[in-house]
Structure 1
Amino acid sequence: MADKLKITLVKSTIGAVPKHKKTVEALGLRKLHHTVELPNNAAVKGMVNQVKHLVKVEEI
């Protein structure tokens, strides 16, 4: 299993549910096509699962 996840914002949060906007912000994603590397743990996976329609995830 991978140590880290590479998460990229691929869809705008304009018009998204406010809770999803906050989740994207909490993941550290600021602009469209911005990428962050986060640890592969249950908390991050849960956040990604909530906004899976807005992000692209790759295992590193």
Structure 2
Amino acid sequence: MANLKIKLKRSKIGRKKDQIATIEALGLKKIGQTVIKEDTPQIRGMVKKVDFMLDVEEV
């Protein structure tokens, strides 16, 4: 299965609580931090919810 490389590009400050919780559930804490997650429908849904704050590429 493919993986997704997810990078936080915008701050969590001033965001809605559900958006902050989604970012933290993805394992992102700081701007510029990158995580690699398995490409599942659950992860895709989380990414779609906060896509304006992320850079995503398939690995």
**TM-score normalised to the size of structure 2?**
0.96
- The one-character-per-residue Cα deviations of 1:1-26 (angstroms, maximum 9, x if unpaired) are x6100000000010111100000000
Give the length in aligned residue pairs. Answer: 59
> Secondary structure at 1:53's aligned position in 2?
helix
Instruction: Quote the RMSD (CA, aligned, Å).
Output: 0.9
Q: Which runs of 5+ in 2 are unaligned?
A: none
The structure with more helix, counted as a fraction of residues: 2
5+ residue gaps, structure 1: none
Moved over 4 A (4+): none
- Give, in whole Å, the separation in 1 of the partners of 2:53 and 2:21: 13
TM-score (norm. length: structure 1)? 0.95
